[in-house]
């Protein structure tokens, strides 16, 4: 099994120094991939916020988003063990900086694995792709909610990326995620009738609006894992 865990500093706050000179990772303990989620072929996306102390240690990790509770738990079990490069006080450098990082779970060796999020072009995908994903989902005969399919997962991924990049508020994100959840069934039914239409056109207006504001951070969120 190949477990890919991507870590990238997406947002540094508290000072100009933190934004200009983010500490580099010197030790990274990977979270354990939950066994049942491996069996089901479920990929995972977690966003974790933490404070990095000047000696490189990690404090106060908080899960901002997780595609499944077990991925959040696996991440929290190890994140305090991560280590970053230390720095010296002075020249306006703070005692702590805030880091928000994505943790990505995927199992490339399993034939049951859902298509990796990095391989999905949300803007170019059509309803035909969603219909194909549903057909494959039905053939696999595993109990996975339709909301876990690649296009829906990628939609949530890009919405969270926009929040991390401060393109909109957490309240706006919460509304969009709720609307997406409530509309999943109707999107599936509509796409079955209009296979050539773009998938994003079938999303709720609140979701489309935030995706348009988040698109400028797409390249950053899809950078290769460290």
Of 60 and 98, the one with more pLDDT: 60
Q: Give CA angle at 171 (170, 177), nearest 5°.
A: 85
Q: What pLDDT shows up at residue 78? A: 93
Of the candidates 21, 30, 27, the residue with the CA atom closest to the CA atom of residue 2: 30
Residue pair 22/226 in contact (Cβ under 8 Å)? The answer is no
Q: Which two tokens stand for residue 56?
A: 């490189």
* pLDDT tens-place string over residues 117-139: 666 788 899 999 999 988 887 77
Q: Give the pLDDT band (50/70/90) at residue 40.
A: confident
Pairing mode of beta strands 44-53, 58-66? antiparallel
Q: How far apart are CA 52 and CA 136, in angstroms?
A: 43
Q: How far apart are CA 220 and CA 198, in angstroms?
A: 23
* pLDDT tens-place string over residues 48-65: 889 999 999 999 999 988
Number of residues that make up the chain: 226
CATH number of 11-105: 3.30.2420.10
Q: What pLDDT shows up at residue 112? A: 44
Is the pTM here over 0.85, yes or no? Answer: no
Q: What pLDDT shows up at residue 158? A: 85
Q: What pLDDT shows up at residue 97? A: 86
**Residue 83 CB-density burial (10 A; 0-12 exposed, 13-18 middle, 19+ buried):** middle
Q: Which two tokens stand for residue 45?
A: 């996306």
Greatest mean pLDDT range, 13-27, 174-188, 203-217: 174-188
Q: Give CA angle at 197 (194, 201), nearest 5°.
A: 110
Stretch 88-109: mean pLDDT: 78
Q: Give the pLDDT band (50/70/90) at residue 67.
A: confident
> Where exactly are the structural domains of the chain?
11-105, 117-221
């Amino acid at each position: 099994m190949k477990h890919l865990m991507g870590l990238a500093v997406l947002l540094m706050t508290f000072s100009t120094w933190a934004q200009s000179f983010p500490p580099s990772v010197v030790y990274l303990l990977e979270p354990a991939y939950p066994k049942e989620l491996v069996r089901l072929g479920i990929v995972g996306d977690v966003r974790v916020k933490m404070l990095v102390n000047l000696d490189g240690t990690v404090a106060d990790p908080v899960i901002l988003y997780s595609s499944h509770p077990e991925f959040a738990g696996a991440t929290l079990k190890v994140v305090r063990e991560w280590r970053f490069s230390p720095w010296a006080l002075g020249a306006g450098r703070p005692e702590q900086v805030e880091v928000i990082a994505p943790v990505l779970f995927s199992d490339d060796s399993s034939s049951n694995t859902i298509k990796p999020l990095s391989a999905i072009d949300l803007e170019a995908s059509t309803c035909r792709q969603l219909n194909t994903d549903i057909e494959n989902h039905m053939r696999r005969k595993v109990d996975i909610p339709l909301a876990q399919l690649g296009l829906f997962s990628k939609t949530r991924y890009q919405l969270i990326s926009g929040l991390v990049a401060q393109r909109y508020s957490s309240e706006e994100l919460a509304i969009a995620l709720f609307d997406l959840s409530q509309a999943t069934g109707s999107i599936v039914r509509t796409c079955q009738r209009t296979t050539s239409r773009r998938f994003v056109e079938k999303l709720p207006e609140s979701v489309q609006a935030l995706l348009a504001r988040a698109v400028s951070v797409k390249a950053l969120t899809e950078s290769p894992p460290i």
